[in-house]
Structure 1
Amino acid sequence: MRWIRRSIQAKMFFSFLIVLIVPSVIISVCAYYQSVHILKDKLSRSFMDNILYISSDLERNFSQMIEISEFIYINKDIKKVLTTSYVSELDFFKDARIVDRQLDEFNLYSSFFSYISSIILFGDNGKNLLYGKHVGALDISPMRDEAWFRQAAANDHVQWLPLNTAKSSYLVNEDFKTVALARSIKSENFKKNIGVAYISFDYRFFDEMFEDQHGSMGNREIFIIDNHGALVYHVGGDGPLTETDQTLLARSDSEPYTMRTEEGREYLVASRVIPKYGWRVMETSPVDELVRDSKSIFTITGIAFVLSFLFSALLWFFISSSIVKPIKKLTQVMKQVKGNNLLVKTEITTPDEVGLLSANFNYMIDRIYGLFQSVLREQEQKQSAQLAALQSQINPHFLYNTLNTIRWMAIIQNADNIKKMVEALGNLFKNAVYHPNALISVKQELSNLEDYLYIQKIRYKDKFEVVYDVDASALDCATMKFILQPLVENAIFHGIEPKEGRGVLRIEVKARKDQLIMVVEDDGIGIPKETLESLLLVKAQETRRTSGRPNGIGVSNVNERLIMMYGHLYGLHVVSELGNGTRVEARFPKMTLDDDEQGG
């Protein structure tokens, strides 16, 4: 048993034996009794073929009935008669005659039209159209009060009416039977109900359907039951319905055929429902004798079972071996991978699921090996980057301390201009080096900008003036560091510096409902169109960076930082005109800043 649990081939083989032996033994033991049922099944199938033929023929007849009603449903002349308010009866009779001629012409194209017993079209305008050879057998005055009339008028579906019997208040001749339907008639746009159509068909089409089976039924009986559960037609039997017949009719089975025992006699009952119309066709026959010599069937079944079992077992052994062989090879390769050998591959010998599994396994090993190598490279790069970062922290710290020393020397020597410039440069350097990614307040961002502009004003002397337009409500809002400084730097270097004469630099900060807007505007020389199109692209700006800018941050980098921080809905918008200056607008979400979030 342990060997079976460890071997998939053994599991497959013994599972096959169990699946084959258990049902086969049961079939062999029960073959004698099943032989009778097999023969009954053949008889039942014969019944079902006959039922299927009858129901299909009946369904075709019903379809032709529906076609006739469809002709009436869409006929414009009929709609005209049922909607016109006639002043003259002569006009009504003229239009009614037109409808009669159209029905006569339709009779030439419809083979089923000859079975029409009567057609009565009730108009909501009070007019009635009568057609058919048996219209005189109906009293149409009470028909509008029938339940089926109200149901037909209330919906668009065809209503199959109960079988006409003496219970029908509109039937003049009690022995006269018809199959009838009713449906509503709509207006030209098919939105408004304008009347009801009543169409009845002669029973004669049932007789013609079964004329070939009369006299050859034997003990078989065929019943046709309508959608109301009433018996419509009966073929076979010695006379009127017996009590057994009525019992069989009353029992509805979901099975297409079944065996029923009534009054000590077994009956084979086959039935089929016509789904579209709800009618049912049923055939019954007593089963008095079973076929003898069924033991021979048992013997033949047993011999066939033994031979087929031996052949199948041998065949399955070879099949299972061919299935398991590539799996075993894959298992061996997996054991090598378990031993940390990632350079092995399994051979793909078949294009089936096992072959696909092997191919995916090879792909997985290649991916694992590639990821392993990638992790090793990343670890090496990470260590190198950490070492470089530690080294880079030494130089800025040393430079900041040096600037602070120069500042104190300027204070001692009363060199206020040098002191202020070094102090502004130190503040800028400190804010750039420490917590470069931290959020700060707009007020702090403007303070950093003032330090930067102080240095630039000393450099450019009286080259430009700065105008501020800042909302007081925006000062406590949160912003990223160095949003304004790169924009101002770009405006000075590329806009105002090349300009002849003095320039104006305008700084705006506006707080809107859900946005914060920062604007840097100059009246410099403007930006050429081809340069403007690539201004916000990182690759196009890499060559324009200078070591003199804090952290090497350019305009395109500001745009990238805003997009990375807030998404593609935000960023920079640049408008420029040669000779008239440039306006750069930064938009990002308006947020408050807690005290513990402020950096620098």
Structure 2
Amino acid sequence: MLVSILIPLLFLGSFAFITSSRVTEEKTKLSGIETLRQMDGNLRFIIQDVENISLFLISQGDVQQYLSSASEDEKVRSRIVGMMMNLASSKKYITDISIVSRKFPTTMSTATLYDSNLPQQVDIRKVTDKMWTGVYQVKDYSGLKNVITFIRPLRSTHHYGDLGWLAISIDEKAISQYWSQPKLGEGRGQVALVNEEGLILSATEKDWLAKPLEELYPGLTREFSANLYGSMTYGEGANKQTMLHFREPSVGWMLIGMIPYDQYSAQNRYILLLTIAAVALAAMISVGLILFVAQRVTNPLRLLTRLLAKIDPDAPLPLFPTNSSDEIGKLGASYNMLGRHIEKLKAELIRNEARKKEADILALQAQINPHFLYNTLSSVHWIALMADEKRIADMVEALSDFLRISLNQGKEFYPVRQEIAHIQNYAQVQAIRFPDKFNIDFIIDDNLQDKYMLKLLLQPLVENALIHGIQKKEGAGAITVYLEQKDGMMCFLVLDDGIGMTEERLAAVRANLLPNANREQKEIRGSTSVSYGLRNVNERLILHYGPDAGIEIESRLHAGTRVSFSIPILEERDENHDS
């Protein structure tokens, strides 16, 4: 017992630990990608905002006028600088906006820079298309700053000639604040922004700025997929990390997140300790249970075993003496109750077998008689056709199909669609006999058409509805056959708007269907064919599907009657269903 408990627990603990590790890692990756997505949203907003500001400035009338004029206009220049300063001061991440004229030596700028490393990045006068520089340092009145600059040519809106260049510088410190909120990897992860050349533009570690990513993580860039985002494992041992990337397609930059791999181990250590504690506790409980079973249960059970070994299959179970109220005493009492129940079941089985044989004989008679008529009706059908009596031929053909389905090669089960066809043939025969007296509608769930059911269950119900409901009513009536699937069962309903029944008559019919009703009382109550047909269907349902499958009847005088029952769904033919 101890081994049988410990081995599954060890396997379960190992499986839980491995699965937890994988789930934790995958969850951290997904969470990290989502964090990078939020960071990229903030970054995209800044990039788009800078683009919009640049478009606004290059199309501004004063800027176009100043750069297109033959000489510098100080008033226009002052207005332009004031406007740029207003734009720069409204954006906390913009450190400087500058306009370099192709003709004039003076540069319009919103900041006073004492020193700038921009010339080491790019010669602004050779820029022919918009671009972003790498990160570099500038020095102003507040000290050194790391900035990234967006540069684009400034052209005339009239003749598209080159007038100068526009440069908008972004403070790396301001945008790097987005890399810390929300936190990556519960605050233990690192984030870096890399441009198309693989140079780090911004990072949570300031020592990484302007360095190639390959210098810090050799071979990492080649491992990244071309997808918008992705993840991979980099490094070995203590330096093992999960690398996440998210691309910003508008400028070709890439956000890279690094999460230490030992973070997963710390989270999974709790699962490991819990598993060990569960196994140890299970071992102690198992030892105690084994001792208890050996001392308190085994000996009384041996006595019960010897008693059971002496059982005679043809005789009732011997009684077990119950002298205690503990578990063994309750087991002995249950054993005695089981013996009495078995005897009761034997008697009930004998009665049910007799009832089933009786019902099977009645069903067999219903099959044998139409079998003789089937061949005869086939001949009548051809004689009617040769005599050009189409109505007679149709009626005989429908009756012939009706009888053929009733036979069903002697098999008790067939598909639902065959039962529906059986009713349609019956209705066709009756429609010729009683023209314009009734209509029959079918509302059938198509998914149940090929499911199997006990044959000849619905036709007697439809016949009762027609003979005892519709025919006794003045004018035409309607019969509806409804089938739906509910809670794994096939639910049948036969509904008519015929004459209905009084409450006394309905009570008598219901009483006649009770399986334990006195046989003589049944014969008295069931003298009419309506009770016989319902009783026959009800008994076949109970015998083949169990006591819960009996029919239910509801009726109101001059309003109609509804008869319903539910049976299990059978996927295929099972002639030994009762077993």
TM-score (norm 1): 0.37
The structure with the larger Rg is 1
